[in-house]
Structure 1
Amino acid sequence: MSLEFGFSMNAFREYSTVGAIEAVADAGYDGIELLFDEPFLYPPEATGEEYDEVETALNRNDIAISNCNAFMLTAIEDFHHPSFVEPDEDYRRRRVDYTLDSIDAAAELGCDHISIEPGGPVPEEKSREWAMETFVEGLDELAEKAESKGVDVMVEPEPDLLIETSDEFLDLMDRVDSERITCNFDAGHLFCMGEDPAELVETLAPYTRHYHLEDIPEDRSHEHTQLGDGAMDIDGFLQAVEDSGYDGYVTVELYPYQETAAETAQGAMDYLRERGWA
């Protein structure tokens, strides 16, 4: 087996930055997904001391950055707001500016990709086409910074947001003229939409720079579930990823488990080891 696994810091909001990095390293992961949001390093306000703290902790624990998560934005409102498709231009601007800062932060930390929300919830008073055009405008601005910094901006399809399915993602790619706008392939999200993640690995491989993994209940509700406790064919998905020749990280994302973050991270790693993946 050749895959490398990370675990997302977004389950560790009750921890310090250093504590989260130590816990993920102790559980045996190769990498950690940094969360660019409070209470951790928040790019619009981050200090040089905070960057040094992250780099020192990573080096001390011999763990790499699997991804930089610039999706969740509770420092301003919540996971999805402000979005790239807010009707209020000034509010929308806050999401764009935050993401520009996140590109800089990833470059500073030596990570070559960030993951972002797929536009956001389509406003009730706006059409889907308006939302697509508005999102593309935002991506075009991000692409200029991304190209100059050598950082990919990975759109992550998610249920109930503008880009939910693989077809919608591919339509978006037809509208964007930059190789730095790519895909954060979240297996659980696509499974929620009735798709087969394993079958989509090849389809989305030209755009995929990073994978998220979680299990999902049998009813395909959008509930991130501990590996092995849901209905996904995790082995089939990971086999497809390995067969594709992918050489990046698969990051386990189990943010609902904040009360048991360390135990949940360890449980997911135990599952991957028992199945022969790690």
Structure 2
Amino acid sequence: MLTLSVTYRQSWATKIGITYRPSSTLNHFLFGEFMIGLACATLSCDGFGDTDFVESFRMLPQIGFKYVEFNCWYPRTVTPAKMRDLKQRCEDTGLVPISLHCTSFGGADGMDRSRDAAHKIRFMEAARELGVTRVGATGHARGTSGGLQAIIEVLQEIAPVAEELGIELGLENHEGNNLETIEDYEQIFSVIDSPNVGIWLDTGHFDASNVNMDNLIDRLSTRVNHIHVKDNLQKGKKSFTRFGHGTTDNYHVIDRMLALGYSGYITVELSPLEKETIFEDLVVAKKMFERYETTT
């Protein structure tokens, strides 16, 4: 299939009076681009510690995952040297990196927001070094670190950088977070209209926040540029569990997004981790969601 450049697609969309958005319905229906890849986040294997992704590189090829999302939350995980290291290790193991997940958007004051802008710009550079086009993060605890306004202020400065570098920025929802509700996203997008800024839809966290995902999809499906699947035990309460043990209707969310033309990646996030069953739990997740893959 012929792959059209982002610049070409943006210019073509402008000519007919619409806004081009990466990973949106437009790609499917206007440009004939449709692809679903199934990835796994490194936190699923290595947890939240600074483990140098050892377990991810060991487990994921054995389970059969091809695509990997790196959770880079520590100083050594953002350096150019680490990007070269990850790129080489991916080549050695047959894994294909698809995205970087970094620490939270926002800042309590101007200095903190300046640091956050610089941090996100560095991650966009790191993404290019690794050969990926997606960078995502959530926010800080709800009502802290400048709230939603701080996120908007940072995005106003870095969205043009994302457009220049060809990077898709993802705003991931978390329970009890500045990025949590449909209204949070609508407020952001009323100010930030960049085609390179979208939603990293986390199914488990939306369930934990008691957000109606059908309403979210009805109102904001064209802004979703990445999907995280997770299982939660009880709607309205953060109670993550092993895949197949909860009540999160991941299939319904994915099916609706696909019907609307979503094209991109679905990333498995296993939380919490029980060391004795991580491998088995990820095998289950792979079997659950591999039905959606169009690329292997």
Q: How does 1:174-213 map to 2 (within 5 A)?
A: 174-198=190-214, 200-213=216-229
TM-score (norm 1): 0.80
Q: Are 2:213 and 2:253, in contact at CA under 8 Å, matched by a contact in 1?
A: yes
Tell me the SS of whatever aligns to 1:160. coil
Aligned partner of 1:162 in structure 2 is 178
**Deviations 1:201-237 (CA, angstroms, capped at 9, x unpaired):** 3532211111000011124322332221101122222
Q: In structure 2, do the counterparts of structure 1 residues 3 and 177 end up closer, same or farther at CA, with 3 Å as the change threshold? A: closer
Identity of aligned residues (%): 18
Residue of structure 2 equivalent to 1:151: 167
Quote the residue 1:75 is aligned against: none
In the alignment, structure 1 residue 84 sits paired with structure 2 residue 84: no
| Shift of residue 84, structure 1, vs aligned partner | 0.7
Cα drift, residue 199 of structure 1: 5.1
Change (3 A) 1:277 1:47: closer
The secondary structure found in structure 1 opposite 2:65 is coil
Q: Tell me, what secondary structure is at the counterpart of 1:195?
A: coil
Give the equivalent residue in structure 2 for 1:239: 255
1:114 to 2:135 alignment: yes
In the alignment, is the contact (CA less than 8 A) between 1:198 and 1:241 conserved in 2?
no
Amino acid at match of 2:241: T
Counterpart residue number, 1:30: 66
Structure 2: runs of 5+ lacking an equivalent = 1-34
RMSD: 2.6
Shift in Å at residue 103 of structure 1?
1.0
Q: Structure 1 stretches (4+) deviating beyond 6 angstroms?
A: none
Q: Distance in 2 between matches of 1:170 and 1:230?
A: 29
TM-score (normalised: structure 2): 0.76
> Cα distance 1:236–1:131, how it changes in 2: closer, same or farther (>3 A)?
closer
2:279 corresponds, among 245, 255, 262, to 262
* Per-residue deviation, 1:10: 1.6
> Could you list the runs of 5+ residues in structure 1 that have no partner in the other structure?
72-79
1:64 equivalent in structure 2:
96
The 3 A distance-change label for structure 1 pair 249 and 203 is same
Bigger shift: 53-62 or 157-166?
A: 53-62
Paired position in structure 2 for 1:21: 57
Contact 1:215 / 1:225 at 8 angstroms: preserved in 2?
yes
Asked whether the equivalents of residues 183 and 210 of structure 1 are also in contact (C-alpha less than 8 Å), the reply is yes
Code of the aligned partner of 1:63: L
Residue by residue over 1:98-144, the C-alpha shift from the partner in whole angstroms, topping out at 9 and shown as x without a partner, is: 22211111121121111111354313xx9xxx633322111112213
Distance 2:158 2:124 in 1: 8
Taking the aligned partners of 2:106 and 2:166, their CA distance within structure 1 comes to 22
Moved more, 251-260 or 12-21: 12-21
Q: 1:120 to 1:146 in 2, by over 3 A?
A: farther
Q: 1:88-103 maps to which residues of 2 (within 5 A)? A: 88-103=109-124
Q: Which residue of 2 aligns with 1:77?
A: none
Report how far residue 258 of structure 1 moved. 6.2
User: Counterpart of 1:17 in structure 2: which amino acid?
Assistant: F
